[in-house]
Amino acid sequence: MKPWIESELVRKFTASLNFDRKLYREDILGSIVHVKMLARQGLILPQEAEAIIRELGKIRDEIESGEFKWREEYEDVHLNIEATLMERIGDVGAKLHTGRSRNDQIALDMRLYIKRVTGQICESITRVQEAILDLAESHLDVVMPGYTHLQRAQPVLFSHHIMAYFWMLERDKGRFSDALKRADECPLGAGALAGSTLPLDPEYVSRELGFSRSFHNSMDAVSDRDFILEFLSACSILMVHLSRLSEELILWSTREFGFIELADPFTTGSSMMPQKRNADVAELIRAKSGRVFGHLIALLTVLKGLPLAYNRDLQEDKEGLFDAVETVLACLEVLEPMLRSIKVRAERMRSEAEGGFLMATDLAEYLVTKGMPFRRAHEVVREITSYCREKGKELRDLSLEELRSFSELFGQDVLERFSAEASVKARNAPGCTSPEQVKAQILEAREMLSKGGKT
């Protein structure tokens, strides 16, 4: 193979421009602050700094307007911007890279990017939470079967069920916020790995870029991507919750459940079966969780065997991160209107909450209030449900005489327990499923969102 062919192959293989150009905002911002610092430290003249900053601003505007010409011969976003700068203002532009390496430059860009998109994701999560709150509040008293092991277990309020996802999402925001604390460290000034002999001022750069602190160790600053791992972990856990919610929407919208109806824009038909209304949007959210998980696993694998300090392997931290961010934001964006479009079939939910021995635990707890130990009460009610199965009856079909044949502790008041509404109303401890407690839960959640954090 001819040397020039080999060179072209290597250039294409190692180039990152097609994806890292996404970081142009962060790259230019970091360069502007770096130049200001160089002027403050007397490493370049003030008028030189002004010329560089002015031209960087023009380049940024051209990129955003689509006028900037990206050139593949410059392998990444950094070289494209710097080469253009030098072509326009000559040797003055060549002073931009004073005291800086692409190693600390890209580490900075990635941290700035994480800081930016974390805010976008948390805002999108909040919009989904607001949709959940509205859905819960508008169907506050709707009773439905609650499940364990996908088996009907006890009656709950639909509003209580859907609010469970509000709190999952609130913890997701907490994870992103917590991960941001580790990303909030400025690496600029670390150089290639050992810093610089020049009198740089990393603390100034850190403050100007809005970081809470500068790096502690130059080798660590340029070589680790644990802040991206933590961010991807938060993305993955968020996608677990979105996938679980999507799975329930898929199940509930089937004829077998019939609890909800998804609006037409969020369903698709079949190319063969004209009657179908498939929950394709929810199914895609469920599937895209695996895509995000994969990016986390990929980066863990990239990092696990790297010696200090920088290695080119770290170029592989970007495409998965960018795709994870786009995937998460797309899922959140489509989930909010889908939740707002849901038609809740309240009567169907209620009818399904009445049968299937869902009040069995209530019956056992009734006996406990009459003085029977719970284990014995559990045994008695198990015998009652077996009797009902043999006779083809529901609990509500039993007469007082039939109940007293199992225990003399049953009184007339037990017959009031055999409704789903009575069951949920009786569960009135904080955080439980009674209407009173769910109202309090929704109020607390709304106050939390209005304050932008925990109450």
Q: What pLDDT is recorded for position 268? A: 86
Residues 196 and 289 in one domain: yes
Residues 57 and 108 in one domain: no
Please check whether residue 146 lies inside any domain of the structure. no
Residue reference for tokens 């209530």:
362
Q: What pLDDT is recorded for position 453? A: 58
Q: How far apart are CA 177 and CA 162, in angstroms?
A: 24
- Do 129 and 169 touch, CB atoms closer than 8 A? yes
How confident is residue 356, by pLDDT bands cut at 50, 70 and 90? Answer: confident
Q: Is the pLDDT of residue 406 over 50?
A: yes
Q: Average pLDDT, stretch 311-318?
A: 96
**Least-confidence region, from 23-37, 46-60, 355-369:** 355-369
Please check whether residue 262 lies inside any domain of the structure. yes
378 is catalytic: no
How confident is residue 3, by pLDDT bands cut at 50, 70 and 90? Answer: low
How confident is residue 7, by pLDDT bands cut at 50, 70 and 90? Answer: confident
129's tokens? 């939470």
Q: Is the pLDDT of residue 269 over 90?
A: no
pLDDT, mean over the chain: 95
- Which one of 287, 318, 350 terminates a domain? 350
Structural domain range at position 17: 3-98
Q: Classify residue 22 by its DSSP letter.
A: G
Residues 253 and 158 in one domain: yes
Kindly provide the b/e burial profile for residues 19-32, where b requires at least 16 CB atoms within 10 angstroms of the residue's own CB: bbbbbbebbbbbbb
Q: Is the pLDDT of residue 146 over 70?
A: yes
How confident is residue 1, by pLDDT bands cut at 50, 70 and 90? Answer: very low
Residues 268 and 408 in one domain: no
Residues 264 and 318 in one domain: yes
DSSP per-residue string spanning 384-429:
HHHHHHHHT--GGG--HHHHHTT-TT--GGGGGG-SHHHHHHH--S
Q: Average pLDDT, stretch 113-142?
A: 98
Please check whether residue 387 lies inside any domain of the structure. yes
Residue 225: give its domain's CATH number.
Answer: 1.20.200.10
Number of domains present in the structure of the chain: 3
Residue reference for tokens 């023009």:
58
Residues 272 and 361 in one domain: no
How confident is residue 2, by pLDDT bands cut at 50, 70 and 90? Answer: low
Q: What pLDDT is recorded for position 417? A: 85
Residues 421 and 346 in one domain: no
Burial classification of residue 427, based on how many CB atoms lie within 10 Å of its CB (0-12 exposed, 13-18 middle, 19 or more buried):
buried
How confident is residue 123, by pLDDT bands cut at 50, 70 and 90? Answer: very high
More reliable by pLDDT, 415 or 133? 133
Q: Average pLDDT, stretch 336-351?
A: 97
Please check whether residue 336 lies inside any domain of the structure. yes
Residue reference for tokens 């407690």:
437
The one catalytic residue in 7, 138, 212, 270 is 270
Residues 115 and 205 in one domain: yes
Q: What pLDDT is recorded for position 4? A: 52
Residue 56: alpha-carbon gap to chain centroid: 34
Please check whether residue 199 lies inside any domain of the structure. yes
Residue 89: give its domain's CATH number.
Answer: 1.10.275.10
Angle formed by the axes of helices 158-183 and 102-138, nearest 10°: 160
Residues 221 and 334 in one domain: yes
Query: pLDDT tens, 208-249?
Result: 999 999 999 999 999 999 999 999 999 999 999 999 999 999
Run of H or E including 157: strand 151-157
C-alpha triplet 453, 176, 223: angle, nearest 5° = 145
- Which one of 35, 65, 98 terminates a domain? 98
Q: How far apart are CA 160 and CA 152, in angstroms?
A: 16
Residues 91 and 116 in one domain: no
Please check whether residue 145 lies inside any domain of the structure. no
How confident is residue 274, by pLDDT bands cut at 50, 70 and 90? Answer: low
Residue 357: give its domain's CATH number.
Answer: 1.10.40.30
Run of H or E including 146: strand 143-148
The one catalytic residue in 65, 149, 216, 399 is 149
Among 342, 345, 206, residue whose Cα is nearest residue 263: 342
DSSP per-residue string spanning 244-303:
HHHHHHHHHTSTTT--EE--GGG-B--SS-TT--B-HHHHHHHHHHHHHHHHHHHHHHHH
Residues 125 and 217 in one domain: yes
- Do 269 and 211 touch, CB atoms closer than 8 A? no
Residues 196 and 284 in one domain: yes
Please check whether residue 68 lies inside any domain of the structure. yes
Q: Average pLDDT, stretch 167-184?
A: 97
Residue 419: alpha-carbon gap to chain centroid: 38
Q: How far apart are CA 177 and CA 184, in angstroms?
A: 11
- Which one of 98, 114, 132 terminates a domain? 98
Burial classification of residue 79, based on how many CB atoms lie within 10 Å of its CB (0-12 exposed, 13-18 middle, 19 or more buried):
middle
Q: What pLDDT is recorded for position 455? A: 40
Please check whether residue 358 lies inside any domain of the structure. yes
161 is catalytic: no
